[in-house]
């Protein structure tokens, strides 16, 4: 038990260290190359913290377990949108009302709707599956090009007066992402081992430790960005991670095998992904930000989802 506690402690230390390095590195890169920090967060931070989802999805398809790939992507997106944003909003309001955020949320909703149609059609196998996968991957890079062409106005940069070289900023960014990924892996593995010693069920472990553990990189990076008063990086990280999961993780997995499953297996999380996409889009028009009160609602919504999944998995 002491060994597992030490592993968990090391994981938490890496997570905290990664968050400390990541946001200054992101801001440093943005300043050095005159790129909005929001875009750096969308591409580098979101892609880095979502790399585990890509690897898990590809591995699941290679093992002929497409349900794991779908559950991994949809579960991660729900955790990002509800748990990560909810926790972030408890610390500080997350602005959602600017025009670029609205455009991003519209695109996220349309992609989610398209993915639902692909899932319902059962076409995600063979040549059709490969073509769909390539379209998804191509759409992601087209979207990135569009982001680079539209330069938003940047808020004041909250960083020390000394200037960092681009090499130092890149080292901070890559080192921060690596620490987040390995820290989450240590935390999850140690937590699972400790939970099994305590006699917890596999389903309960999966819906608590693993579900939250795989979202720890996003949670820490969003928390760090809020501490640096960069809500644009926080929201950009979440939206970028969600789009990466839907377009790159699913698209990449579809190149290696069939993703056809019975839609009933993932109907609840898929419907919730669509519902949350609509909810965030409505927020961007009706609310200026996600307040702490709404943060509590988001977290409660996520806990209800975990409860329903637990009941359905044991029922």
Asked if residue 129 is part of any domain, the answer here is: yes
Residue 289, SS3 per DSSP: strand
Q: Strand 94-95 relative to strand 289-290: parallel, antiparallel, unpaired?
A: antiparallel
Asked if residue 160 is part of any domain, the answer here is: no
Asked if residue 16 is part of any domain, the answer here is: no
Looking at the structure of the chain, the number of domains it has is: 1
Which residue carries 């029922």 as its tokens?
315
Q: What stretch of H or E contains 94?
A: strand 94-95
What is the model's pTM? 0.77
Spatial separation of the C-alpha atoms in residues 141 and 150, rounded to whole Å: 15
Asked if residue 296 is part of any domain, the answer here is: yes
Neighbours of 161 (CB within 10 A): 4
Asked if residue 266 is part of any domain, the answer here is: yes
Q: Please tell me the predicted confidence (pLDDT) of residue 159.
A: 46
Question: What is 202-225 written as a DSSP string?
Answer: HHHHIIIIIHHHTTHHHHHHHHHH
Asked if residue 175 is part of any domain, the answer here is: no
H-type helices in the chain, by residue range?
A: 2-32, 37-40, 46-49, 51-62, 66-78, 85-91, 99-121, 126-149, 166-197, 202-205, 211-213, 216-227, 231-243, 250-254, 267-286, 292-314
Residue 151 CA: distances (Å) to CA of 146, 206, 241? 10, 41, 20
- Full residue range of the structural domain in which residue 113 is found: 39-150+200-314
Spatial separation of the C-alpha atoms in residues 243 and 107, rounded to whole Å: 9
* pLDDT tens, position by position, 111-149: 999 988 888 877 777 788 889 999 999 999 888 888 777
Handedness of CA 183, 186, 189, 193 (dihedral sign): negative
Asked if residue 87 is part of any domain, the answer here is: yes
Asked if residue 182 is part of any domain, the answer here is: no
Instruction: Give pLDDT < 50 ranges for the chain.
Output: 154-162, 202-203, 206-207
CATH number, residue 224: 1.20.1420.30
Q: Please tell me the predicted confidence (pLDDT) of residue 202.
A: 46
247 contacts 140 by C-beta, under 8 angstroms: yes
Neighbours of 116 (CB within 10 A): 17
Q: Please tell me the predicted confidence (pLDDT) of residue 7.
A: 81
Q: Please tell me the predicted confidence (pLDDT) of residue 196.
A: 67
Q: Please tell me the predicted confidence (pLDDT) of residue 100.
A: 67
- Contacts for 252 with CB less than 8 Å, ≥ 6 apart: 54, 57, 58, 133, 137
């Amino acid at each position: 038990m002491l060994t597992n506690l030490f592993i968990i402690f090391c994981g938490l230390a890496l997570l905290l260290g990664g968050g400390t390095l990541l946001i200054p590195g992101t801001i440093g890169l943005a300043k050095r190359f005159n790129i909005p920090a929001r875009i750096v967060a969308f591409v580098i931070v979101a892609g880095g913290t979502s790399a585990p989802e890509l690897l898990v999805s590809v591995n699941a398809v290679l093992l002929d377990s497409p349900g794991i790939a779908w559950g991994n992507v949809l579960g991660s997106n729900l955790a990002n949108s509800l748990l990560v944003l909810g926790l972030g909003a408890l610390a500080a309001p997350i602005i959602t009302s600017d025009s670029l955020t609205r455009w991003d949320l519209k695109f996220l909703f349309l992609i989610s709707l398209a993915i639902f149609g692909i899932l319902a059609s059962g076409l995600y196998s063979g040549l059709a599956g490969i073509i769909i996968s390539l379209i998804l991957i191509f759409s992601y890079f087209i979207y990135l090009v569009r982001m680079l062409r539209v330069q938003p106005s940047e808020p004041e940069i909250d960083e020390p007066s000394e200037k960092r070289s681009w090499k130092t900023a890149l080292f901070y960014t890559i080192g921060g992402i690596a620490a987040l990924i390995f820290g989450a892996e240590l935390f999850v593995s140690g937590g699972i081992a400790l939970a099994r010693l305590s006699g917890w069920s596999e389903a309960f472990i999966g819906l608590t430790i693993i579900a939250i553990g795989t979202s720890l990189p996003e949670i820490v990076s969003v928390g760090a960005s809020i501490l640096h008063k960069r809500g644009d990086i926080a929201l950009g990280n979440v939206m970028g991670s969600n789009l990466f999961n839907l377009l790159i993780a699913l698209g990449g997995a579809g190149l290696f095998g069939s993703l056809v499953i019975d839609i009933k297996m993932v109907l609840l999380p898929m419907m919730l992904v669509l519902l949350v996409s609509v909810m965030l889009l409505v927020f961007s028009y009706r609310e200026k930000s996600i307040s702490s009160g709404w943060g509590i609602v988001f977290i409660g919504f996520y806990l209800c989802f975990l409860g329903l999944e637990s009941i359905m998995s044991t029922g």
